[in-house]
């Protein structure tokens, strides 16, 4: 049941996102579109409640509970960022808005990559925290090795993403010939 709910939440995320953007830009109903977009966090809350109830009803903690915790962490850290990024592109394509800034080059790109890494740290912190709460909740009554493994996986993801950010720091992408080195970056528009 947890796996089906995770899949439903992922599908629901994209359906609500498409509906919210369509209402904002195609139907010219920005407030209703924003209200639909604000329903996104409710799906994660439902997933958290159902996962907790599953453990409370005696389910053995396993990989499904780990995936649910990390999915919630990812959504907390990257959900708003994803919506904002897609909203900028929808405004440009559907409403004649300005073209969204890219990630940039040089120092702007390096700053962008480190900001993304901090989002990954947040995602991992939320996921690891939820997993730790589940571990405490289950206690000695069940096998918690799967939950511990997911915690380690989240920390490995943070380390791997740090290596990517270090790579951009050491070898920052250079602007193509004729492009402005200090173009407005996505990193600046994230604030």
Per-residue pLDDT of 146-174, as tens digits, reads 999 999 999 999 999 999 999 999 999 99
Of 183 and 92, the structure prediction assigns the larger pLDDT to 92
Is residue 41 within 8 A of residue 79, CB to CB? The reply is yes
Per-residue pLDDT of 51-103, as tens digits, reads 888 888 888 888 899 999 999 999 999 999 999 999 999 999 998 999 998 88
**Those residues with Cβ within 8 angstroms of residue 71's Cβ, 6 or more apart along the chain or in another chain:** 6, 9, 10, 44, 47
Is pLDDT at 111 greater than 90 in this prediction? yes
Is pLDDT at 42 greater than 70 in this prediction? yes
Mean pLDDT value across residues 26-39: 92
Of 118 and 1, the structure prediction assigns the larger pLDDT to 118
Taking each helix axis from N to C end, the angle separating 106-138 and 145-170, rounded to the nearest 10 degrees, works out to 170
**Those residues with Cβ within 8 angstroms of residue 28's Cβ, 6 or more apart along the chain or in another chain:** none
Q: What average pLDDT is seen over the chain?
A: 89
Phi, psi dihedrals of residue 176, rounded to the nearest 5°? -65, 160
User: What is the SS3 string spanning 122-139?
Assistant: HHHHHHHHHHHHHHHHHH
pLDDT of residue 70: 94
Per-residue pLDDT of 93-103, as tens digits, reads 998 999 998 88
Model confidence at 183, pLDDT cuts 50, 70, 90, reads: low
Percent of the chain's residues with pLDDT above 70: 93
């Amino acid at each position: 049941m947890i796996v089906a709910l995770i899949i439903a939440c992922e599908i629901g995320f994209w359906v609500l996102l498409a509906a919210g953007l369509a209402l904002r830009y195609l139907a010219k109903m920005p407030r209703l579109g924003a209200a639909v977009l604000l329903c996104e966090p409710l799906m994660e809350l439902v997933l958290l409640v159902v996962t907790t109830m599953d453990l409370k009803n005696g389910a053995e903690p396993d990989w499904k509970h780990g995936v649910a915790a990390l999915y919630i962490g990812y959504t907390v850290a990257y959900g708003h960022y994803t919506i904002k990024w897609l909203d900028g592109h929808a405004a440009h394509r559907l409403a004649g808005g300005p073209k969204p800034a890219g990630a940039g080059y040089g120092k702007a790109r390096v700053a962008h990559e480190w900001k993304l890494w901090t989002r990954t740290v947040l995602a991992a912190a939320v996921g690891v925290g939820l997993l730790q709460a589940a571990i405490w909740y289950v206690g000695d009554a069940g096998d918690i090795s799967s939950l511990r493994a997911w915690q380690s996986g989240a920390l490995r993801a943070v380390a791997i993403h740090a290596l990517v950010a270090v790579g951009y720091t050491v070898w920052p992408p250079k602007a193509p010939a004729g492009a402005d080195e200090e173009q407005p970056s996505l990193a600046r528009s994230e604030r």
